[in-house]
Amino acid sequence: MITRRSVEIRRAERGVMRLFLAITVALMALLIAASGVAAVTRGWVLPLNRHLVRRVRLFGWAQLVVAFALCWQVAFGLVISDIGTRQWGTLTGSGLLLTGLLVMAVSQRAGGGQRGRGTP
């Protein structure tokens, strides 16, 4: 039997889960943004990606776009209550995320005339 108390508990649990999800995604976006700033300003890339990335600054800008897209997704997916605005906001965030990931992939490709020359 569903009582008013059980409905209130479910709503509270849903709110806690949303808060947990928002904090987790925001922290992940902060780490990605810090890595992007390091790549743009200093030309530094994480050791796991060093042998893959050919254009460091472009990779850094792509990381910043991905971080912004994640924050956009959290803002429109969890904070905004209007359903129409939420749908368009999350769709825009998905487009930004896809754009950032595509730019990251482009920055990892070898240049046209540089393929196979020297050490990576």
Q: With cut-offs at 50, 70 and 90, classify the pLDDT of residue 118.
A: very low
Per-domain boundaries in the chain: 4-108
Cα dihedral 104→62→72→34 (10° resolution): 110
Q: Which pLDDT value is given to residue 7?
A: 64
Q: Which residues contact 47 (CB under 8 A, 6 or more apart)?
A: none
Mean pLDDT value across the chain: 85
- Classify 116 in phi/psi space as left (phi over 0), alpha (psi -120 to 50) or beta: left
Give pLDDT tens digits for 63-76.
Answer: 999 999 999 999 98
Q: What is the pTM of this model?
A: 0.79
Give pLDDT tens digits for 3-62.
Answer: 766 666 666 667 788 888 889 999 999 999 999 999 999 999 999 888 889 999 999 999
